[in-house]
Structure 1
């Protein structure tokens, strides 16, 4: 799998860009703040419908613009697919596949697969459990795109059930009771069923992922830090019994009925405490990916170097898992070689050298291992009325006429922006 074209309009610092890309290794060079990372962020967003830097979409839209557009042409086993996404201020985002609108943006998931390694990945080891849950869920969705709908349904039910718990608990306390009214409790029973159904499907995929990722993680970490303690992963949950949580055992069947029964039992047991606190205390939203070095948890016990090694090993393991079970993902390396010592740089370069397409950002050419022989593209910024505007400096393109003005009505065509074969601003 590789990206043959990338187009941007009003995405962060990019007012307009049209890039033609090829298999192999490409490096975007430029000083910090010039917009290199924004290119990889846009590609990663099309693959996951999320940014690796911010939780909301608003910062992704260029200052002064009402919407941002991202588009790519993805080539997979000789087949080309065009995907476009429009990010809107205050309204729903819109997507297209081969210029045809889709009902929901999540329908584009699975067409483009990426693995992105960035300095923010240190939070996978040192950050809160939400970072690791996101890592699991994005990787699960890459393997099974329909899981995006399950995740969305689970989040919706969780919000509605949590709101009912707060209301029922508050009203129960005002009546001097430890629980809500019969009507409220009956409604909670209904929401418990919905939550257990969606949670069981999400849990089944997470458990399968941890089992499948386990050997790749151990191998990747050993190659990066052979002198360190062995690295292992596991699934941590206060809801599931121990027999579900050992990643080294034979893979569990996707027995969603058994998982649903466990969820219903635990929800019933936790209800008094949930009503008292007004929060949902049971479910995969409270679970974690356990990272272990030897017999100690990596968080709090790993050195800075070991933490970097674990973060890198997680991404390399994800890359190896995806390409072993499906199309090889595009590898995105965001300014990470400068953060790594010689051994880690070598381990990452070995994987990158064999990947079908690698897109790299770096401040200077010396940050990228010479053996990768990456094609350089320089990114610079210039001032604009609405702030800095990024562009790619291509000596060949300097003499090319600028792209024609966007025709009337083109704003309604998601990502359908005119341009040349190089980026402009």
Structure 2
């Protein structure tokens, strides 16, 4: 994969030129970095991206479905925005094409939600187990998928299919019903109020939500557990992924460092970066490359110049 500033990205597979999107899923990786604290404390979009990235590694077709949904969502939102403008001028909005967009939007939204719900369900056990391994806590990590359609119309106790988020056909019909229930609000506000773009992943420790209640150390452990759970899920599905730990040991206390080192040793390939060598646990067997910046020579890696 070639990334050149100011130019389009280029990709090759076995020397053959391909579109960059075609490399998705070929080299599976799991990256844990300081920015991953946003998985716990950040907006729902961060957790949606986490599920989507994992789903794409398991099934690259998910990226295409997500791209199609984003396109349709933008078109439908533009229609809602135009309807809002008409209402403000005292005119009746033109919604003659809305049914067509609703059908596409509902079908694509249901497929994305089904995939995310399935991933969240499969991820819960390995993530919870990883949390127990790295955190000295009596509380257990729980994951629950929070679909926006459930928040809008709820589930029908008399219809078991309504509660099964992985049933694409049933969820497409529920999404259409949800769109009908919020149509007036959508035209007033000019936005899409329900859909896969408003899904979330709920994280809790015991009976308490992680966001807003977990300590700093617990939040780090949850973020780490999600990545390690993803690593185990990908390993069970096929080849063991490459594990990349980007300057994270400095953020962890000694017990969490040791726990991460023990779990990382299960990986076949690991790449670890750190600014301070002492941050690496002694139990982590590794080959070190020392990188420094020389004012005259530029970047130097173990005595060798690098541009």
Structure with the larger helix share: 2
Change (3 A) 1:374 1:95: same
* Residue 160 of structure 1, CA deviation: 1.4
Residue 195 of structure 2 corresponds to 283
Superposed CA deviations along residues 22-65 of structure 1, whole A, max 9, x for unmatched, are xxxxxxxxxxxxxxxxxxxxxxxxxxxxxxxxxxxxxxxxxxxx
The question of 1:161 aligning with 2:76 is answered: yes
**RMSD value over aligned CA atoms?**
2.2
Counterpart pick for 2:168 among 233, 256, 268:
256
- Looking at structure 2, the residues matched to 121 and 331 of structure 1 have their Cα atoms a distance apart, in angstroms, of 14
Q: Return the structure number with greater relative CO, CA threshold 8 A, min gap 6.
A: 1
Q: Secondary structure at the match of 2:187?
A: helix
Residue 95 of structure 1 corresponds to 11
Counterpart pick for 1:197 among 103, 107, 116:
107
Residue 188 of structure 1 corresponds to 98
Structure with the larger strand share: 1
Superposed CA deviations along residues 270-299 of structure 1, whole A, max 9, x for unmatched, are 111100000100101111100011111110
Query: 5+ unaligned residues in a row in structure 1: which ranges?
Result: 1-83, 245-250, 399-423
| Conservation of the 8 A alpha-carbon contact between 1:224 and 1:343 | yes
Residue 80 of structure 1 corresponds to none
Output aligned runs, 1:272-311, within 5 Å: 272-311=184-223
- Looking at structure 2, the residues matched to 224 and 365 of structure 1 have their Cα atoms a distance apart, in angstroms, of 21
Change (3 A) 1:189 1:242: closer
* Residue 206 of structure 1, CA deviation: 0.5
Output aligned runs, 1:362-381, within 5 Å: 362-381=274-293
Change (3 A) 1:217 1:261: same
Residue 125 of structure 2 corresponds to 215
The question of 1:345 aligning with 2:248 is answered: no
Normalized against structure 2, the TM-score is what?
Answer: 0.91
Q: Secondary structure at the match of 2:211?
A: helix
Output aligned runs, 1:23-422, within 5 Å: 84-87=1-4, 89=6, 92-102=8-18, 104-177=19-92, 180-181=93-94, 185-240=95-150, 254-382=166-294, 391-395=299-303, 397=304
| Conservation of the 8 A alpha-carbon contact between 2:179 and 2:194 | yes
| Conservation of the 8 A alpha-carbon contact between 2:148 and 2:196 | no
Normalized against structure 1, the TM-score is what?
Answer: 0.66
